[in-house]
Amino acid sequence: MSNTLVMLLAGGEGSRLNILVEARAKPAVPFGGIYRIIDFTLSNIMNSGLERVGVLTQYKPLSLMSHIGTGKAWDFEGRNRGIKILPPHTGEKDSDWYKGTADALRQNMEYLTRYDPEEILIVSGDHIYYMDYAPMIAFHKRNRADLTVAMMKVPKEQLVHFGTAQVNGQGRIKDWEEKPKEPKGSLASLGIYVFQTPYLLKALQGPAAVDFGRDLIPSVIKKDRVFAYPFSGYWRDVGTLAFYYETHLDLLNPRSGLNPEAWGVQTNLEEEGLRGDRPAILLQKKARVARSFLSADTVIEGRVEGSVLSPGVRVARGAQVFNSILMHDCQVEAGAHLDRVIVDKKVRIGKQASIIGRADSPNREFPGQLKEGLTLIGKGASIPSKIKIQGNTIIYPSVSGEDFPGSVMNQGETVRKK
């Protein structure tokens, strides 16, 4: 495995996550209490025995770069091990930015050849999954493939979001459609590729190949050896608010297959302030907790059910938190009630505030991003006491009491700083 180079694509804007990516890249979005989304891919690389990783960043990368650091948390420090951040070769023109997955690799040709790898494994940093890449690389070699694409069966109604393929009896891809409205096949691409290095370098020399799924794969499947590697484990795209929320519910379901601890998922504990700086969970006498994930330094006096709480969360006496995601250092004051709410870091929920993420109408400003009856609260917001906020509402970061137009927020509204 030491002769395989990993290129991790972590530059996506992730705009469908709305204000969760206002100041961070999608792979840097917190997940599951103590992790970030990219931790799952980084841990898969580590647990697969791979040693060299290039991380392609672009969109608002600072928090992501700080989180990755030297790679120590994933054992990427050493004589023959290493992780390198590879931002775009930006200049004065928009064309200097990465225009697609293939273009991102093209701009880093020098890094691709530096270690003389036999294969190049390309992965994405914005999915929640567990995978040992070694069997896929072995499958690639066994089939003498030029390119191998990891694929899995998904329900037909979801195929519109993926590159899809039809294969022959040997697993060779014979037909490809990128995000088809009427898919012919049932296999969806997971955005995980293994290339023979000389083949990839030659393919990248053509300027027409900007994106692997949209451009490169359709152009080569008839003439080159392109195979589908069958994957059947847990894999989730968390690129929408609904998927992000539902995957957190999987974390609370023992039968879902999502188990970061059993998978050996690591995070940068020092960057998250978790290595020795956070005390243990504290449940006060009248606290009630059911079907929830609590992180270090959470203090619960009220009631928490079906929720995921990151370090530093406080739930005061008489407060109720149901079916919600609360990120680092949020405070839920006495008597407040939350149900189906996604709360970014350092948010204060005032006393007796009622935030119910249930609604029939989508968010009026972002109907395609928030329509499932959730409420989304941005980082550092302060929610007034006794306010009533209905579902499909978006509260922007750093909003305070004076920014709210009244004591009731009807469903589908959006509140920004004045």
How far apart, in Å, are the Cα atoms of 24 and each of 18, 58, 59?
11, 10, 8
The mean-pLDDT minimum among 22-31, 154-163, 186-195 falls in: 154-163
Same domain, 177 and 79: yes
pLDDT of residue 306: 98
CATH of the domain at 333: 2.160.10.10
Give the CA distances from residue 373 to residues 213, 246, 309, 359, 416, in Å, rounded to whole numbers and listed in that order.
32, 12, 20, 5, 20
Per DSSP, the three-state class of 316 is coil
- Give the residue-averaged pLDDT of 202-206: 85
Q: 231 with 299, same domain?
A: no
> Token pair 């690639």 is at which residue?
140
The domain tally of the chain equals 2
pLDDT band at 275 (very low <50, low <70, confident <90, very high): low
The reply to whether 312 and 380 lie within a common domain is yes
CATH code where residue 29 lies:
3.90.550.10
The residues near 401 (Cβ < 8 Å, ≥ 6 apart) are: 350, 382, 384
Model pLDDT for residues 350-359, shown as the tens digit of each residue: 999 999 999 9
The SS3 of residue 37 is coil
In the predicted structure, residue 94 carries a pLDDT above the cut 50: no
- Rounded to whole angstroms, the Cα distance separating 311 from 288 reads 18
Indicate the residue among 251, 286, 317 that finishes a domain: 251
Predicted confidence (pLDDT) per residue in 381-396, tens digit: 999 999 999 999 999 9
Rounded-to-integer distance, Cα 289 and Cα 322, Å: 10
99 versus 348: which is more confidently predicted? Answer: 348
Regarding predicted confidence, which is higher, 239 or 354?
A: 354
Same domain, 164 and 290: no
Q: What is the pLDDT of residue 2?
A: 65
Assigned domain for 157 exists = yes
Mean pLDDT of the chain: 91
Decide if 41 is inside a domain.
yes
Please provide the DSSP assignment of 96-162 as one string: GS--SHHHHHHTTHHHHHHT--SEEEEEESSEEE---HHHHHHHHHHTT-SEEEEEEE--GGGGGGS
Backbone φ and ψ for 204, nearest 5 degrees, come out as: -75, -10
Query: What percent of the chain is predicted at pLDDT more than 90?
Result: 73
Range of the domain at 290: 278-418
Helix or strand holding residue 21 (H, E) = none
